Structure 1
Amino acid sequence: MSLVVYLAGAVFGLSCVVLLRRPLAVPRNPLTVSTCVAIVLGALVFVCSAPLTLSAVNRLTGIANFGAPLTYGMLSAYSCSLLVLLINWRGGTPARIRRLVLRTMAAYGALIVAIVVLFTLAGPSTERLTDLDTYYANTPYMREMIVLYLLGHSAATLVMCAVCVTWSREVTGLLRTGLRLILTGILLDVVGFQLAKYTALVARWSGHDLDFLSTGVAPPMASLGALTCSLGFVLPRLLPVALACRRDLDDLRGLGPLWSEVRFASLAPKPPMAVWQPPRVRLHWREVSIHDGLLALAPYFDDGVRERARDAALHEGRSAHEARVAAEAAMVSDAARRAAAHEEPRTTPSTYRLHATEVAGTGGLVELAQALTRSRLTATVPEGTVRATPG
């Protein structure tokens, strides 16, 4: 079970890294800070609650079950961080936010002190690593400590449920999806962890044994809820970045035919090599290099080649824009062939501007690369081949 809990804590904690655009920088946005603090505390709760950690803590401190108030105190701090996150998320005047945050921290600080005091008064001597809640359910002071930490956690999660339901009706897109994932994770915690714990405790108080709910159902459900919550935290920021990287990679591959045509003429300096570069960096370098290559080929541009290719494309029924791009591809291909053969540039340089140099971004270059690919495919069709026409 420790492995599952450690894995949940690791994934929960890694989502904090995703939320920080520059992990080495100190974040100044209170919402980002409170979100990351909540995620880190949630990860620490899982680490502290693992049986291996509990055993190590008990052995190092020499106090039986010392890991229990440590875990419960960490869980209470996590519950407090959830409410602080909601306060910062809701917003308001700085004075109001500061006042509510201080009140919340004071309340949960008192709860943590009460947990430690009750544990000290109880003095449990029998070490229990997985079933402490139910084993000590009827022990004075321990009983109150267990109920107290559960009530503190329940209060925070129920408030967060209510806020997520309200906000998910007011927002759209990825933010709504993220809120619903957070809500789902919290509901898994409420139903799978808290309700299971409460039921097992009540069963003990009434003389029954439903310990499996506390030891077998609650931990994996809490882990699943935490993973779902972490996905809700990072999705609104991670998915747009992932989609942007995919678009950059698609454009990078799309520029391949054009780059292979003009790369010999490009004199753009190569960037410093790195083990891994973001697609955006590679795409920017390729775009600059292609523009440099096209500039070097400009003295070889033949307007006659372009006009004949444009007329042929129009005769085939292509639109004016498609015909223009196809004609430019033919002109670039002809210029690259003559430049590679070391022929002399044209005595009267063309003043024509390519469509790709008139538009921002890589869209025009990708169009030109696609036209080059089509022209190469057309050139490979043997003469006399009969093409089927729809009809």
Structure 2
Amino acid sequence: MSVVVYLAAGVSALSCLLLLPGRRTTVRYPLALSTCAAVALGALVFACSAPLTLAAVNSLTGIPNFGAPLTYGMLSAYSCALLVLLINWRGGPRERVRRLVLRSIAAYGLLVAAIVVLFARADADTERLTDLDTYYATTPYMREMIVLYLLGHTAATGAMCAVCVKWGREVTGLLRLGLRLVLAGALLDLVGFQLTKYTAVAARWSGHDLDVLSTSVAPPMAALAALLCSAGFVLPRLLPPAVAHWRGLGDYRRLDPLWSLLRSVSASPKPPAAWWQLPQARLHWREVCIHDGLLALAPYFDDRVREQAREAALRAGRTPYEARLAAEAAMLTDAARRAAAREEPPARPSTYRLRATEVSGTSGLVELAQALHGARAGTAVREGTVNAAQE
């Protein structure tokens, strides 16, 4: 069971780390801070509840079952963090949000204190690493401690379900998907973890033995529920930038033909090639260098080359837009050849502006790069056909 619990803790911790790249600004945004806190506390709960961790804590403190109030206190803090996250997620007047957050922290702070006091008063000298809830279900003070931590977690989970159902009707897109994942995790926690715990404890009260529900069913259900909740909290924040970086990587690669043509004439610092550079940052560097190269080649632009290429493209059946791109690619290739051969610029300087320099973003540069790639591919095919015919 420790492997499953540690795996859930590791995934939750990884989710928290993924939210940390903006840690310099996280403190200024309560929603981001509460999201990180909730996910991190969820990871700590799983790490503390693993039998190996419980045994180590008990051994270090010299107190049998000391890991129980530690784990239950962490679980109560996690429940409080969920409520605080929901309060910040909902938003509203700052004073109202602050008041609700302080009330939640005070209520669960009292709950944690009650758990510690009840454990101190209880007679729990027999160490139990996997079945403490059912083994001590009828023991004075331990019984109340177990019921208290379960009720505290149930209150937070129930509130989370109610809020997710209500907001799910009002929002769309990734936020709705995130809410559905959180709701699925909360319902799984209610049914798979809490209900099985309640049932196993109540069975002990009535003289029956359903310990298997508490020891074998509840832990993996809790782990899966926490993973779903973490995914729901993290997905709306991480997916948009991840998609943007993925698209940036695609544009970065599609700019290769244009960058290969201009890299020798660009005077800007070359883009960093470090593996840790994010695609968006590398794409920005490449854009800057390409625009610098286009500026350096502008004196070599020849309108005659452009017009000839445009007429040839129109005769070949291309649309006016495609013909313009093909003509710009031909003129740019000719300018790069002139610059590399150190030829004199055309006698009549061109005042033509490339479309790629008139539109914002990378779309214009990507289209020009693909036009260059198509022109080179067509030239290679024609040369191969001529060589084959000569042979």
Query: Which TM-score bucket, shorter chain as reference?
Result: over 0.9
Q: Does the Cα contact within 8 Å between 2:80 and 2:105 map onto a contact in 1?
A: yes
Partner of 1:174: 174
User: What SS does the corresponding residue of 1:23 show, helix, strand or coil?
Assistant: helix
Q: Does the Cα contact within 8 Å between 1:161 and 1:187 map onto a contact in 2?
A: yes
AA at the equivalent of 2:299:
P
Q: Does the Cα contact within 8 Å between 2:197 and 2:214 map onto a contact in 1?
A: yes
Q: Does the Cα contact within 8 Å between 1:181 and 1:231 map onto a contact in 2?
A: yes
The C-alpha deviation readout for 1:23-65, integer Å capped at 9, x for no partner, is: 2555112222222222222111111111111111111111110
Q: Which moved more, 1:339-348 or 1:303-312?
A: 339-348
Distance in 2 (CA, whole Å) between partners of 1:231 and 1:358 is: 41
Distance in 1 (CA, whole Å) between partners of 2:325 and 2:262 is: 16
TM-score (norm 2): 0.94
Return 5+ residue gaps in structure 1 as ranges.
Answer: 387-391
Partner of 2:263: 263
TM-score (norm 1): 0.94
Distance in 1 (CA, whole Å) between partners of 2:53 and 2:171 is: 41
User: What SS does the corresponding residue of 1:265 show, helix, strand or coil?
Assistant: coil
Instruction: Report the alpha carbon displacement of residue 296 of structure 1 after superposing the two structures with TM.
Output: 1.9
Instruction: Report the alpha carbon displacement of residue 254 of structure 1 after superposing the two structures with TM.
Output: 0.7
Q: Does the Cα contact within 8 Å between 2:310 and 2:324 map onto a contact in 1?
A: yes
The C-alpha deviation readout for 1:351-384, integer Å capped at 9, x for no partner, is: 1111111111111111111111111122223489
AA at the equivalent of 1:79:
S
Distance in 1 (CA, whole Å) between partners of 2:368 and 2:353 is: 13
Partner of 2:278: 278
AA at the equivalent of 1:138:
T
Alignment of 1:165-314 (within 5 A): 165-270=165-270, 274-314=274-314
Partner of 1:156: 156
The C-alpha deviation readout for 1:235-272, integer Å capped at 9, x for no partner, is: 11111111101111111111111111222222212356
Distance in 2 (CA, whole Å) between partners of 1:338 and 1:26 is: 52
Instruction: Report the alpha carbon displacement of residue 312 of structure 1 after superposing the two structures with TM.
Output: 1.3
Distance in 2 (CA, whole Å) between partners of 1:98 and 1:370 is: 54
Distance in 2 (CA, whole Å) between partners of 1:27 and 1:313 is: 57
Distance in 1 (CA, whole Å) between partners of 2:57 and 2:71 is: 11
Q: Does the Cα contact within 8 Å between 2:271 and 2:286 map onto a contact in 1?
A: no
Distance in 2 (CA, whole Å) between partners of 1:325 and 1:139 is: 82
Distance in 1 (CA, whole Å) between partners of 2:164 and 2:61 is: 40
Return 5+ residue gaps in structure 2 as ranges.
Answer: 387-391
AA at the equivalent of 2:169:
R
Distance 1:253 1:381, change over 3 A: same
Partner of 2:333: 333
User: What SS does the corresponding residue of 2:381 show, helix, strand or coil?
Assistant: coil
Partner of 1:358: 358
Alignment of 1:117-128 (within 5 A): 117-128=117-128
Distance 1:321 1:242, change over 3 A: same
User: What SS does the corresponding residue of 1:97 show, helix, strand or coil?
Assistant: helix
Partner of 1:97: 97
Partner of 1:57: 57
Distance 1:360 1:66, change over 3 A: same
Pairing 1:344–2:344 present: yes
After the TM superposition, which parts of structure 1 deviate over 6 Å for at least 4 consecutive aligned residues? 383-386
Q: Percent identity?
A: 73
Distance in 2 (CA, whole Å) between partners of 1:71 and 1:259 is: 57
Q: Does the Cα contact within 8 Å between 1:20 and 1:27 map onto a contact in 2?
A: no
Distance in 2 (CA, whole Å) between partners of 1:334 and 1:240 is: 40
Distance 1:339 1:103, change over 3 A: closer
Alignment of 1:22-101 (within 5 A): 22-25=22-25, 27-101=27-101
User: What SS does the corresponding residue of 2:263 show, helix, strand or coil?
Assistant: helix
* Aligned pairs, number: 386
Instruction: Report the alpha carbon displacement of residue 66 of structure 1 after superposing the two structures with TM.
Output: 0.8
Distance in 2 (CA, whole Å) between partners of 1:26 and 1:196 is: 37
User: What SS does the corresponding residue of 2:353 show, helix, strand or coil?
Assistant: coil
AA at the equivalent of 1:185:
G
Partner of 1:389: none
Q: Which moved more, 1:333-342 or 1:54-63?
A: 333-342
Q: Does the Cα contact within 8 Å between 2:26 and 2:32 map onto a contact in 1?
A: no
Partner of 2:140: 140
Distance in 1 (CA, whole Å) between partners of 2:274 and 2:379 is: 38
Distance in 2 (CA, whole Å) between partners of 1:383 and 1:197 is: 76
Distance 1:238 1:82, change over 3 A: same
Distance in 1 (CA, whole Å) between partners of 2:44 and 2:105 is: 18
Q: Does the Cα contact within 8 Å between 1:45 and 1:75 map onto a contact in 2?
A: yes
Q: Does the Cα contact within 8 Å between 1:355 and 1:364 map onto a contact in 2?
A: yes
Distance 1:259 1:22, change over 3 A: same
Instruction: Report the alpha carbon displacement of residue 82 of structure 1 after superposing the two structures with TM.
Output: 1.4
Distance in 2 (CA, whole Å) between partners of 1:93 and 1:8 is: 36
Say what the alpha-carbon RMSD is for the aligned residues. Answer: 1.9
AA at the equivalent of 1:173:
G
